[in-house]
Chain A
Amino acid sequence: MVGKQIVIGFTLLVLLVAGTALIPAEYPPDDGGTNGGIEIVGPYGVQGVSEITLGTALMWYPEQTMVYRAVDTIISRDDALKIAERFGMSGPVEESGGRIKCYVVKDEPYTFEIEKEAGYMTYTWNDRYSGVDPRDRPENLPTDEECRKIAEAFLTSHDLLPEGAVFSSVSQGGKGTFSNHSGGAPIVTYEDRDVLFTDTLSGLPVTGSGIRVTVGGGGDILKVTKRWRDVEPYKEFPILPPEEALEELKQTGVVTAVSSPKRAIVGEVRLCYYATPPGTEQPYLKPTYYVSGTVEGENETGTFFQYIPAVPELGKGLY
């Protein structure tokens, strides 16, 4: 009897050791530092959900995908001037102070700014973008389709559409309302449309990297914003099947405004790359699952989203 117990105990011990040894092979430790990745997802809204169900069919995904290495972007004064000239501005180029150094070109009514070390760029009609100009009342706003055409025409005619950028969406950008202190329905005083063109790598969109055109009343261009990650191919890695990504979702929780979420229904699973904010360290751009859907709480329902890194070999961080 005792001998049998020893054999069983030994077998369990071997299995335990073997199992433990296998874990790092599949899920190597995180890179450390800020590359904890998932933690960076809006901590306010990340909440655990006890029940997650799939409300859509999972699509086919490649078994392996290219991981890209981020390349530093450095902008010179000449670079800044050349880009400003594409907007029809002629200078002079000034340098702004502060912690993030920028080149600035002003040519009324627009101001062009580009960061020296990240290339983050804005071209803004400041007086209009502040949100009270009568020209930007909602009734003066073109249709979404017109906004898209206006934005595309502007970018292509000014040679500003980067290689790899594809049309993504038209959506409400800014909105302004006025309310009397005495009550009454708010009056909508301002509305614009954001036309987004997203970067693509290996045929997948790069979330957080793109160029956005804000169209206001009369079809005027109120702002162009570009945040773009320059990259080079690193190497291909096997990726997590979407089914396992959903299992990960149970561990990470979801980003939602619904309090005490009880049940999440996944409505969409998409594979993409994730780019961090300009100027932040990002060694790699890794394939990532974007998961979204609806969530039910105790007293309310709403939407959720979450990003799940898809290359286990590179750790659980998003980058």
Chain B
Amino acid sequence: MRTTDISGYLVRALIVLLVAGIAVAPVLGEQQEADIPAFRTDEGSGPGAVAPDGEGAAIVMTSAGPIAVENLVPPYPPGWEPPSSPIARGGLYPATAFDPASNTLILHPGWNLVSTPLWLVDGYDTMQAIFSGVDTAGRGVLGYNCSSGWESMGPLDEFRPLEGIWIYANGSYQIPLYFKPTQEQTGVTNHLYSGWNVVGFWDVHQACARDMLLPLGSTWATAQGYDAGTQDYEVSMINGGTGSYSDQRLMFPGKAYWVSMTAERDLICSYYRTYSFCAEWVGDYHGMQIPITWADEEAEGFYNTLDWSSSWTGQFINGDDAAMERHWKDPAFGGMDSNYIDNTHLAFFTGHGWEGGFVFGTAADDYELNYSEARWGNTKTDWIVLASCNVLNESTCTEYWGPAFEGLHSICGFDTVGAAHPDMGWYFADLLMKGKTIWEAWYTTTDRYVFPNDGSLKSAILAADIDGDLSTPDCLDDHIYGYGSSINPPGDPLGFQYETDSCKWEV
């Protein structure tokens, strides 16, 4: 590791601060994205809300008047120069800033916008302790205060989680971070002002912008990372945006992000995050279909078991006539799933099904949720389990259910006839909480409890693929939050991975 001339540290920082004073104001309108994002309607349209402007673009309502979101460009650090060889701005796969295996912060040559994912041990938490070995080429370490602009970080300033810093590296560095033990980790707060703020990513696992910035509600307009690999900004993530601008794009540990706010708000992050789930089941079809004897026990077993998790909170469980099609149907088709199953991270259903959908017992809406009425993940849902016959039929499921993926990671179900068992639900939840992947938990459960058969009964998963690489599992290897890694797909996945597993214990 290189060494830095510490004696010149403060002098250089003062020079940088002087230069930075000239560039305090955010630079607007320097670059404009080519494609215009579409937006869902958010909670309101008052000050601070992101709203459609009638032509598909979005505006931010501020005291200074409306500003098109795509025109917002965050400040560049003082002395920043455009990369000599222009590289197409992608932003989906920025250079890695943190290695969770070794807890090291990775600095790339040039400017880096970084943060610490967790609280650091006392004595190892100052700028000097962490960055003293970095050759900054005289540019020092910079913070940004929304009210006062750029400020130079002093050697004894604390490197706090949820706060980001700019640092110039005259080379590549891997800097070990020493985290406090789990029992000493606490929540963290960053007070954000209207305008641009630098926000550090909190946690050692990646998460999508929507989830990371959830406590800010509709007060955040756009978030933008800096790709140290290309030395330029990534494509922005816009609150409610879709496509390239989706707020379901990932934020990564070790990185920090510019967040444009339309009002003051505290960003409060608990050390222990909680995620939500729900379950619905239908056993009584009022004679229209054969009753499902164990539907209630299966769904309740799942719900009650996962509810024991400190990371997961059950939102609702509905059975028989209380389970309704509208809870699963997108508002675009007259449903209200954004208030029900799509307002949770994980949804579980037990009931009859067929290749094109699944069946309810009440005609309050209609009896069937057809695949064409499903758009999942455009509010929150990441995983869905449909314990129903044939919903993931090999020959049809990608064509039928593919368009339903709008942020969804995967659907588990049956390729063929399935089966219910009173122990299936709790066992599945138990495996999830043991750290099994969702697919492993599902096929292990079905292999164990689906009636012994001749191999013609198969469980299945349809999972979003993010890179088109056939040798990477992507969402196939997702764990539920809090029990292992997962990866967030774009709202419009490149493709799908489909797997079946035979439940074969026949004669």
Q: Which of the residues A98, A212, A277 comes within 8 Å of B449, measured between beta carbons?
A: A277
A275–B505 CA distance with the chains assembled, in angstroms: 10
B window 33-88: CB within 8 A of A? none
Please indicate the chain B residues that have their CB under 8 angstroms from the CB of A207 in the complex.
Answer: 452, 505-507
Assembly CA distance A219 to B236 (angstroms)? 48
Instruction: Assess whether A224 is interfacial by the CB under 8 Å rule.
Output: no
Is A292 located at the chain interface by the 8 A CB criterion? yes
Interface centre among B292, B420, B492, B499 (most CB of A within 10 A): B499
A134: which B residues are within 8 A, CB to CB?
470-471
Whole-angstrom distance between the alpha carbons of A114 and B283 in the complex?
34
Given that A177-B498, A180-B495 are contacting pairs, would A45 and B504 also be in contact in the complex, using a CB cutoff of 8 Å? no
Tell me if B507 and A132 are in contact (CB < 8 A).
Answer: no
Interface: A174 (CB within 8 A): yes
CB neighbors of A among B430-484 (8 A): 430-431, 433-434, 437, 439-440, 443, 447-457, 465, 468, 470-473, 476-477
How far does the Cβ of A128 sit from chain B's closest Cβ, in whole Å? 11
A176 and B499 in contact (CB under 8 A), knowing A44-B388, A278-B448? Answer: yes
Selected interface stretch from A33-41, A61-69, A241-249: A33-41
Q: Which parts of A187-208 form the interface with B (CB within 8 Å)?
A: 187, 189-190, 194, 196, 198, 205, 207-208
Contact A42 B450 (CB under 8 A): yes
B138 within 8 Å of A by Cβ? Answer: no
Contact A132–B504 (Cβ < 8 Å) = no
Q: B265 contacts the other chain (Cβ, under 8 Å)?
A: no
Q: Is B12 an interface residue, CB under 8 A from the partner?
A: no
Tell whether A270 pairs with B421 under 8 Å between CB atoms, given A130-B437, A292-B454: no
From DSSP, what is the main secondary structure of chain B's interface residues? loop
Q: Which residue of B lies closest to A175 (CB)?
A: B500
> A179 near B: Cβ within 8 Å?
yes
Which of A76-84, A147-155, A164-172 forms contacts with chain B?
A: A164-172
A318's nearest neighbour on chain B, judged by CB, is B451
A39 to B290, CA, bound (A): 12
Closest to A270 in B: B507
Closest to B422 in A: A34
Interface 9-residue window, one of B97-105, B113-121, B142-150, B411-419: B411-419
Nearest A residue to B457, CB-CB: A42
By beta carbon, the residue of chain B nearest A126 is B440
Residue B502 at the chain A interface, CB threshold 8 Å:
yes
Interface size of B as a range: 35 or more
Do A176 and B504 touch across chains, with their CB atoms under 8 A apart?
A: no
Whether B494 and A180, one on each chain, are in contact in the complex, defined by CB atoms closer than 8 angstroms, is yes
Say yes or no: A44 contacts B418, CB within 8 Å: yes
B506 contacts A44, C-beta separation under 8 Å: no
Contact of B476 among A41, A42, A131, A210 (CB under 8 A): A131
- Given A174-B501, A189-B497, A270-B507, A257–B417 Cβ distance below 8 Å? yes
A256 located at the interface, meaning its Cβ lies under 8 Å from any Cβ of chain B in the complex: yes
Given known pairs A257-B416, A292-B454, the reply for A208 and B505 (CB within 8 Å) is yes
Contact: B497 with A212, CB < 8 Å? no
Scoring A43, A96, A256 by chain B CB atoms within 10 A of each residue's CB, the highest score goes to A43
A190 vs B501: C-alpha distance in the bound complex, in angstroms?
11
In the bound complex, do residue A130 and residue B426 qualify as a contact, i.e. CB atoms below 8 Å apart?
A: no
A100-B430 in contact (CB<8A): yes
Structural contact, B493 and A255, CB atoms closer than 8 A: no
Q: A173-B501, A208-B505, A305-B454 are in contact. Are A130 and B477 (CB under 8 A)?
A: yes
**Residues A179 and B470 in contact, CB atoms below 8 Å apart:** no
With known contacts A132-B476, A171-B504, A42–B495 Cβ distance under 8 A:
no
A10 within 8 A of B: no
A241-282, CB under 8 A of B: which get 1 and which 0?
Answer: 000000000000001110100000000001010110111100
Is B451 touching A39 in the complex (CB atoms < 8 A)?
Answer: no
Chain A's nearest CB lies how many Å from the CB of B183? 18
Task: Pick from B452, B468, B477: contact of A208, CB below 8 A.
Answer: B452
The answer to whether A173 and B502 have CB atoms under 8 Å apart is yes
Say which residue of B419, B448, B500 sits within 8 Å of A44 (CB atoms): B419
Q: Which residues of B contact A120 (CB under 8 A)?
A: 448
A130, B453: Cβ atoms under 8 Å?
no
Once A130-B477, A168-B506, A256-B417 are accepted as A-B contacts, the answer to whether A96 and B453 lie under 8 Å apart by CB is no
Measured CA separation A305–B453 after assembly (Å): 8
Closest to A208 in B: B452
Please indicate the chain B residues that have their CB under 8 angstroms from the CB of A290 in the complex.
507
- Chain A hits for B389, CB < 8 A: 44-45, 257
Residue of chain B at shortest CB distance from A97: B434
In the assembled complex, how far is the CB of residue A276 from the closest CB belonging to chain B, in whole angstroms?
9
Complex interface: chain A residues within 8 A of B293 (CB): 39-40, 43
Q: Which of B388, B398, B420, B497 contacts A132 (CB 8 A)?
A: B497
Chain A residues within an 8 Å CB radius of B470: 132, 134, 178, 187, 189
Given contacts A132-B473, A168-B507, A274-B452, contact A44 B417 (CB under 8 A): yes
By a CB distance below 8 angstroms, the chain A residues around B307 are: none
Q: A46 at the A/B interface (Cβ < 8 Å)? A: yes
Closest-by-CB residue of B relative to A102 is B434
Q: How far is the CB of A247 from chain B (nearest CB, A)?
A: 21
CB neighbours of A132 from chain B (8 A): 470-473, 476, 497
In the complex, A270→B451 CA distance in Å? 17
Query: Would you give the shortest CB distance from B399 to chain A, in whole angstroms?
Result: 8
Given contacts A97-B434, A178-B470, contact A212 B504 (CB under 8 A): yes
Report A132-164 CB contacts with B as 1/0, cut-off 8 Å.
111000000000000000000000000000000
Query: Chain B contacts of A99 at CB under 8 A?
Result: 305, 426-427, 430
Please tell me if the beta carbons of B471 and A133 are within 8 angstroms of each other in the complex: yes
Say if the beta carbon of B217 comes within 8 Å of chain A.
no
B372-423: which residues lie under 8 A (CB-CB) from chain A?
A: 388-390, 394, 398, 402, 416-423
Contacts of A39 in B (CB 8 A): 293
Shortest C-beta distance, B242 to chain A (Å), equals: 15
Bound CA span A303–B417, Å: 11
Chain B residues, Cβ within 8 Å of A131: 473, 476, 497, 499
Determine whether the beta carbon of B476 is less than 8 Å from that of A186: no
Given contacts A44-B418, A171-B455, A194-B504, contact A186 B398 (CB under 8 A): yes
Q: Is A227 an interface residue (CB 8 A)?
A: yes
Complex: A40 Cα to B453 Cα, angstroms: 13
Tell me how far the C-beta of B120 lies from the nearest C-beta in chain A, rounded to whole angstroms: 30
CA distance A149 to B294 in the complex (A): 40
**Interchain nearest-CB distance for B292 vs A (Å):** 5
B139 within 8 A of A: no
Which residues from B are CB-within-8-Å of A179? 398, 402, 495-496, 498
Interface pairs (24), CB distance under 8 Å: A40-B421, A42-B417, A44-B417, A44-B418, A98-B431, A99-B426, A99-B427, A134-B470, A134-B471, A171-B455, A172-B502, A178-B470, A179-B495, A179-B498, A181-B495, A189-B470, A196-B504, A198-B507, A207-B505, A208-B505, A227-B448, A277-B448, A277-B449, A307-B451
3 shortest A-B CB distances, which residue pairs? A42-B419, A45-B417, A208-B452
Q: A42-B457, A44-B417, A196-B505 are in contact. List 17 more A-B contacts (CB 8 A).
A: A42-B451, A43-B290, A43-B295, A44-B419, A47-B290, A98-B434, A132-B476, A134-B470, A134-B471, A179-B496, A181-B495, A207-B506, A227-B505, A255-B451, A257-B389, A259-B354, A292-B454
Binding site for A on B (CB under 8 A): 290-295, 305, 352-354, 388-390, 394, 398, 402, 416-423, 426-427, 430-431, 433-434, 437, 439-440, 443, 447-457, 465, 468, 470-473, 476-477, 492-502, 504-507
